[in-house]
Amino acid sequence: MHPPKVRILGDLKAGTTERHLIKLPGAALANDEPRPVISVAGAKPGPVLFVNAGVHGSEYPAVEAVIRLGKTLDPKKISGTVILMPVLNLPAFRTRTPFVCPIDNVNPNRVFPGDPRGSYSEQMTHACINEFVVHADAYVDLHGGDIPEALVPFVICRSEAGLADSKARGVAARSKQIAMAFGLPYVLTVSKPSKGHRAGAGGLSSYAAAADKGTPAILAEAGGAGQMQEEAVSLLVKGVVNVMRHLRIIEDAKFESHIANSETNSKEKLKKTARSTVATTVLTKFHWLYTKSTGVWYPKVAQGDAVREGEEIGTIGDLFGDTLEEIASPVNGVVLFLTISPSVLENGLLMGIGVE
């Protein structure tokens, strides 16, 4: 059936881009402002790709990448359907809130696949999975560093390692192919959490919950620090187009030809990034470092830096200028994300180090 039936979007017409204002189901979401969603139903049949940003509402290059795709993808030149949601966690976007949804103070990317009777964030992630992700052949969740964070662009997906079920292994393998196709410098494959991980309503990230539902999925990160870096926007736009090519939603190698002519400015911006290609390093472990002390954070490394086990990578001071803590790297790896805000609380997150 083409275009596919995605109930919440109603009937889509082949060869057209449509703008929707969607009320997500869930009693906790009843008074929400409607969320913008754009459907790009190709002239020819093909796979369904769902792309969202704004699970964390203050990761702005990701949001802009989805907006730009909605303005520039030409439905006449694609086979299949691309569904775009610029911001899932709209309350966080409106209030410039990092990490969580301000309504329930929950990090939505820790409560996928959600719960229709749970808190606001649990109902929101449940709606995202059940109204969109399960209807898609692939899912791309766009992120970046949040307001106090910087990062090097990377993609995360489910690892095949340790999966007993052949169907689950197949979904993980397809997720990794999509992650590699996206074209960022690092791909991090993450094992399925073992038993004992918080069960029930959620406890998973978007891509992991999607994989559990049988939809190959990735989470891609670029940009951060509460800013709209054009380079990061372009990397994410280009990455989604690379995924579209991998899925054969677009066929030929020059993706500029698939961008409608109406947005000259955006088209030029897209062209600029179309030329570069990167070698991707695959990482298989993610170490997150925390401070013991409340204080002032002085990192000695930047995002993208290689670090050695035992190397001092920063210190925590107090407000008299005395050192409270020296932070050493527990592993050999690369700094994928870094807290750049100097103010840190006890048990506060400092950085994430990816390991080969």
**Site membership for Zn ion, residue 143 (CB under 5 A):** yes
**Site membership for Zn ion, residue 54 (CB under 5 A):** no
CB of 59 to Zn ion, least distance (A): 5
Segment lying near Zn ion (by CB under 5 A), choices 122-130, 136-144, 176-184, 326-334: 136-144
Asked if 173 and 160 touch (Cβ cutoff 8 Å), the reply is yes
Task: Give the nearer residue to Zn ion in terms of CB position, either 206 or 266.
Answer: 206
CB of 55 to Zn ion, least distance (A): 6
Alpha-carbon Rg of the chain, whole angstroms?
20
Task: Give the nearer residue to Zn ion in terms of CB position, either 140 or 270.
Answer: 140
**Site membership for Zn ion, residue 68 (CB under 5 A):** no
Task: Give the nearer residue to Zn ion in terms of CB position, either 59 or 122.
Answer: 59
Segment lying near Zn ion (by CB under 5 A), choices 17-25, 43-51, 142-150, 280-288: 142-150
Q: What is the size of the binding site for Zn ion (CB under 5 A)?
A: 3
CB of 291 to Zn ion, least distance (A): 21
Beta bridge partners of 44: 79
**Site membership for Zn ion, residue 53 (CB under 5 A):** no
Closest CA to 219 of 257, 186, 255: 186
**Site membership for Zn ion, residue 246 (CB under 5 A):** no
Task: Give the nearer residue to Zn ion in terms of CB position, either 35 or 56.
Answer: 56
**Site membership for Zn ion, residue 158 (CB under 5 A):** no
Task: Give the nearer residue to Zn ion in terms of CB position, either 4 or 61.
Answer: 61
CB of 142 to Zn ion, least distance (A): 9
**Site membership for Zn ion, residue 56 (CB under 5 A):** yes
Residues 308-327 that bind Zn ion (CB under 5 A): none
Asked if 287 and 338 touch (Cβ cutoff 8 Å), the reply is no
CB of 18 to Zn ion, least distance (A): 27
Task: Give the nearer residue to Zn ion in terms of CB position, either 131 or 146.
Answer: 146
Task: Give the nearer residue to Zn ion in terms of CB position, either 37 or 147.
Answer: 147
**Residues 42, 216: Cα–Cα separation, whole Å:** 21
Task: Give the nearer residue to Zn ion in terms of CB position, either 143 or 158.
Answer: 143
CB of 94 to Zn ion, least distance (A): 17
Segment lying near Zn ion (by CB under 5 A), choices 129-137, 143-151, 158-166, 247-255: 143-151
Task: Give the nearer residue to Zn ion in terms of CB position, either 59 or 74.
Answer: 59
Q: What is the 3-state secondary structure (H, E, C) of the chain?
A: CCCCCEHHHECCCCCEEEEEEECCCCHHHCCCCCEEEEEEECCEEEEEEEEEECCCCCCHHHHHHHHHHHHHECHHHCEEEEEEECCCCHHHHHHCCCCCECCCCECHHHCECCCCCCCHHHHHHHHHHHHCHHHCCEEEEEECCCCCEEECCEEEEECCCCCCCHHHHHHHHHHHHHHHHHCCCEEEEECCCCECECCCCCCECHHHHHHHCCCCEEEEECCCCCCCCHHHHHHHHHHHHHHHHHCCCCCCCCHHHHECCCCHHHHHHHHHHHCCCCCCEEECEEEEEECCCCEEEEECCCCCCEECCCCEEEEEECCCCCEEEEEECCCCEEEEEEECCCEECCCCEEEEEEEC
Residues that bind Zn ion (CB under 5 A): 56, 59, 143
